[in-house]
């Protein structure tokens, strides 16, 4: 589960930074007031996704008995 959790966090961060990068391209013609609102909205959604991942992780941890060995996932074979 720990391996899967890290992969999900990486994917959330990739999408967050990609979205943030798009907003940087528009900073020349979008007023800074709206840019700040957009960045707050993006950050709020990123935090929400992190909470969702952690909530699911805690649920799996509780169902597995909470032992560290039961939470380790084997990475998929390449």
DSSP state of 66: S
pLDDT for 36 equals 84
pTM of the model: 0.58
pLDDT above 50: residue 13:
yes
> Residue ranges of the domains in the chain?
2-60
Percent of the chain residues past pLDDT 70, beyond the cut: 78
The tens digit of pLDDT for each residue in 42-78 reads 889 888 988 988 888 888 888 887 655 555 554 544 3
pLDDT for 27 equals 66
CA separation for the pair 6, 11 (Å, rounded): 9
Neighbours of 72 (CB within 10 A): 11
H or E element, residue 21: helix 2-25
pLDDT above 60: residue 7:
yes
8 Å CB contact between 53 and 12: yes
């Amino acid at each position: 589960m720990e391996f899967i959790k890290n992969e999900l966090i990486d994917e959330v961060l990739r999408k967050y930074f990609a979205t943030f990068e798009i907003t940087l391209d528009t900073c020349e013609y979008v007023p800074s007031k709206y840019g700040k609102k957009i960045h707050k909205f993006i950050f709020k959604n990123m935090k929400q996704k992190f909470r969702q991942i952690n909530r699911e992780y805690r649920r799996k941890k509780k169902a597995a008995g909470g032992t560290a060995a039961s939470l380790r996932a084997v990475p998929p074979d390449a």
